[in-house]
Amino acid sequence: MAELVIYNTLTRTEEPFIPREPGKVAMYACGLTPQAPAHVGHMRGVVVMDIVQRWFEQLGYTVNFVQNFTDIDDKIIRRANEEGISTTEVAEKYSKMYVEDAEALGVRLPRFVKVTENMDAIIEVVQRLVKDGYAYVVDGDVYFEVNKFPEYGKLSGRSVEEMQAGARIEVDERKRNPEDFALWKAAKPNEPAWDSPWGKGRPGWHIECSALSLKYLGAAFDIHAGGMDLIFPHHENEIAQSEAYLHCQQPFARYWLHWGPVRLRQEKMSKSTGVVVPIRELRQQYEPAVIRYFLLTVHYRTPLEFSYERLDEAKSALERIRTAYQRGQAFLREHRGTSADPVVAEPYVQQFRASMNHDFNTAQALATVFETVHEINTRLNTPEIAALPKTPAETAGLLDALQWMMETVLGVPLHQPATAHSETLEQLMQHVIAWRQELRSRKLYDLADRIRDDLKAMGILLEDSPQGTTWRIA
């Protein structure tokens, strides 16, 4: 297997990836609290992790990927009261929308696990932390005592003083230390609650991911992922409580991967601030493949500035790639039976691999895609090259490489979505192209141009080249 290097937030360095178990990758990503429609920021994370999984599979690994739904939370309770439905109905409603949005963007779904279906595992972890002296009980609440874990702060690199200043710490005189955090919350009137050794209640936010990842992946699993905003306090607290639970005999997770936020007017997209672009609305304006392409245009750790201008640029870029691919296919239809020659494409394939092996760098990988597109266009646009006997085989090899890069690895389709009458439309357009070619051969250029212009007005573009005419939806 080729050497993959990953930036590990825990060590703040790029490290060669060495799995816990040869040939297998176990990874966990902190998922959604389903209480409102997902926005573009949510989709960045799920697309990033889809790319990570796809690349591991290309390297020959079997991937076990788990992501949670926090399906009980203060925000869900608030939304249930606003909508007049149960918390279960709220969580199901918005989880379903999230899954639909992710699938529309070409994401192959992880194994989703729910907090409410794993209460026994969560309570067991809290029980051991209390028993071993890392946590204490106050009036039915259970708190983790941060001072009992000397390495607290190793992920974020913050001192205790910085953490106290930066955390949203609730004032609670019952806590031994201000930075102590809740593992279990005592029940409040008219709120969902579960039985526990400390009375009815529900879990704190941080303990959920520790319990679920350890239950489904085991200790020292390979990759723990999430947005950069989760580094502190969420992931910091996860490490403390998890490694206390494990008695620090082995690390909770081996590599920590964090993606940057999506920003709108320099402000992070967040439902709490109202600075959001709902993905469902955006899907009505742009093809999902364009949105996915846009999300891959910068390295996953780099903040991504959202704008409709950038989406339009992504749309144009994807059109250029698709046009080259379609023109190449049209050229090969004239040379049926051609076997692909991968030699010309191999340097681009290796360059693409190097980019992906360098911390999943999709921005560099897309640069290689365009070098491949340029190579294809050079062969199709230069008559003396197009006429060479070796060109069809080389073009076929380049098209195979382009399809592997875009569709297999990056998950961006090279064909536009099929319509209800796509097959009929394809047949009709082939006839139209043939009729127009006959008009041009009879020197009836005005009529031929009128057909082209009328189709353009309808949103269908005809593109002429020395190898023939292709069409696409504008």
Q: What is the separation of C-alpha 152 from the centre of its chain, rounded to a whole number of angstroms? A: 29
Query: Looking at residue 468, what is its pLDDT?
Result: 77
Write the pLDDT tens digit of every residue in 21-66: 999 999 999 999 999 999 999 999 999 999 999 999 999 999 999 9
pLDDT at 457: 77
Whether residue 416 is predicted with pLDDT greater than 90 in this model: the reply is no
Q: Is the peptide bond before 233 cis (omega within 30 degrees of 0)?
A: yes
Is pLDDT at 455 greater than 60 in this prediction? yes
CB 348, CB 375: distance < 8 Å: yes
pLDDT score of 168 more than 60: no
**pLDDT tier at 458 (50, 70, 90 boundaries)?**
confident
- Specify whether the backbone of 284 is left (phi greater than 0), alpha (psi in -120 to 50) or beta: alpha
pLDDT digits 0-9 by tens, 217-267: 999 999 999 999 999 999 999 999 999 999 987 899 999 999 999 998 877
Domains, the chain, ordered by start = 5-294 (3.40.50.620), 317-417 (1.20.120.640), 418-474 (no CATH)
Pairing of strands 24-29, 62-69: parallel
Cβ-proximal residues to 267 (8 Å cutoff; 6+ apart), any chain: 273, 275
Q: What is the pTM of this model?
A: 0.88
pLDDT tens across 284-322, in order?
999 999 999 999 999 999 999 999 999 999 999 999 999
105 pLDDT higher than 70:
yes
Is the pLDDT confidence value at 159 over 80?
Answer: no
Q: Quick: pLDDT tens for 418-430.
A: 654 567 787 888 8
Q: What is the pLDDT of residues 356-407, one digit of tens each?
A: 999 999 999 999 999 999 999 999 999 999 999 999 999 999 999 999 999 9
